[in-house]
Structures are given as C-alpha cells and as structure tokens.
Structure 1
C-alpha cells in the first residue's frame, strides 16, 4: 500500500483507512477475506480508536468500534445469522453469552427479515459506549440499538476468539501480515 493511501483494498473491496463513528475517528486495524473451503465468502474490516495486535487488546480498546463486512458471494441471511450466533456461543464465556442473547436474537431477526445478502452488499456493526450496538445494512441503521455491551464483545469473538470463523482472517483483522494460503 503506498504511503498516504486513503483506502486499503481487500478482495476488490476498498476499506477507508479511517472512519468516523460517534464523533470519533477510528483507524482500520486490519481487513481480510473470509474463506469457506476455497470459496471467498466476504471481506471484513475492524475499526478501533487505536491499533491493537491481540484479541484481548482489540476487545479492551475503549471508545467506539466497528466491524464492516462486504459480501463476495450471495448468502442466505438467516443462515449467516445462525452461523454468527454459533460463533458467539463457541467463543464467549457462558455468562457473557447469556447476557448477549437478547442482542443475538435481535440481530438474527434483522438477518431473517433481509432474507438474502447479495454479492456487493454490506453490513456494519458499530459499538458506542453508553449507547449500545447498532446494526447497519447497506449503510442504513436497522432497528433499535442493542444495549447489552456483551453483545458487541461476543460478536468480535466470532473473528477474534479462540475458535475463530477463519484463523487467517483473525490474523489480518489484528493487523498481522498475511500467511500464504495452502489449498488442499
């Protein structure tokens, strides 16, 4: 990436290197592609108030946070919601996941109502301290904010937890250099 570049390109998708959320400037901590077998499913970018190189540091970072996902293939939105719920459950302590259930249900309802996410469509999940988590589909806020702070932390653990959706994507979201993909 050239010095002074304003965007980072991942899988043909441009991520702004900085965004404004809740009146604060967030930096792109990292971005990468989610693979399922050999298929590219989506790109994801993690925005924080400051760079973080470990899952613990990313989760502990204060202020607003955003995860932004752009679809690289069509996917059933209800199925994606179920996968996210499973990812949250697999990566969160039981008590924390229990507190995030109302938000998890709300996000599942948002995806179920959408029915399908097409190639090129996007969604973001933004956390604002003292305001909660908002879900945006194609740049528009959908529904009310999710008040439980455990929800956003649980959501981040889908990608940053001990059983991430994609280990290579976890490393990229944490700003680490990509490792060569080994195809079987």
Structure 2
C-alpha cells in the first residue's frame, strides 16, 4: 500500500471514529437509541427497536441489545453473554397497569408447566412493580440478563428489586415481546430486524 493510500485510509478511520462517538444509531418519537451500549463490561449491539402502541396511543419505545445481532428468537434465547431490553415510557402508567401488562404477556406465552418452574421469580418481579409509585412519560426501565448473576432491573439509572438468577425467567420476559403470542406483532418484527 503506498503512502498516499495509507494516509487517506487513516484519515477516513479517524473521521469515522470522531463522528461515531456518542452518535445515536436511531431515533423514534424523539427517543434516541445508542448503536452500542455496555452491560456487565461487555459491548452490546442494537438488534432492533420499535414502538409499543395500544390502539392509537404510544405506550413505550422498546430496544433490544445483544452481543451479536440476530433475527432468530430461538438463537437469542441461547446466546451467551449479557442482553438488555430497554423501555422508554411515552405516557404515564400506574404501577398496577404496568404490572398487569407484564403478567398478561407472560400468561399469553407460557404454559402452566413453564410458569410453575419460575413462579417464585415471577412473584419477586411483581413485588418490584409494587415498589414503583407509578411510571411517568420519559422514565427508562432496563431489563438486563447478566451471566453468573441473573436478571437485574434498573429504573431511571437506579437498580431496583432483587436479582432473579434463573435464565428461564429472563427468556420468559423476552417472550412477552418476541414469543409466539407477542404483545405486539409489529414490535416483535422490529426487535428481530437485526438491521
């Protein structure tokens, strides 16, 4: 490679890095989403994102972050490494409304045998929703899977609730949005777009 070509390549890399730092990969309804984030010290990539709507009302923006992009939900459930689902509220919700929607999502995607294996963990999660006074427009909820630790929730930058250790539970949460009977089929397709 001659000197001129090498300098041009180097300049291109420097410019790409400068513009890439802190740049959002996407924006939806004013919510900016980062292309990569760190969870448990590992880089995760934005796999997909979309809006949860109920009738015409915008409820929340959802983003899925993974170690590697994938369009296959069975593959995502088997992935090593951390994972994150982020929710950004687009309207005010009571903690009861949010908790009920969460339970409906689980009930629609798990059979009784599957639920019986994680019933105590579902109960712990329900207690966490009870700790929230309510959710306001702009609030951010992260649902993280951290290998060797479990499911950790973060609300507006603060860890909440107990860590739930079983991977079965985290994958059950993912099924709310990406299971056979997702809360919103369009949102499922958006989260699995792996663009």
Structure 1 length-normalised TM: 0.89
Q: Which of 100, 114, 120 lines up with 1:102 in the alignment?
A: 120
Moved more, 27-36 or 109-118: 109-118
The equivalent of 2:12 in structure 1 is none
When Rg is computed on C-alpha atoms for both structures, the one with the higher figure is 2
Aligned with 1:69: secondary structure?
Answer: strand
The equivalent of 1:92 in structure 2 is 110
The equivalent of 2:140 in structure 1 is 122
Structure 2 length-normalised TM: 0.84
What are the superposed Cα offsets for residues 36-67 of structure 1, whole Å, 9 maximum, x if unpaired?
A: 01111000000110011022122222210100
| Unaligned segments of structure 2, at least 5 residues | 1-18
Q: By percentage of residues, which structure has more helix?
A: 2
The equivalent of 1:27 in structure 2 is 45
Q: Contact 1:78/1:115 (CA < 8 Å) preserved in 2?
A: no
Number of equivalent positions: 175
Moved more, 156-165 or 89-98: 89-98
Structure 1 residue 15 corresponds to structure 2 residue 33: yes
Measure, in 1, the Cα distance between the counterparts of 2:103 and 2:168: 13
Moved more, 66-75 or 77-86: 77-86
| Unaligned segments of structure 1, at least 5 residues | 178-184
The equivalent of 1:182 in structure 2 is none
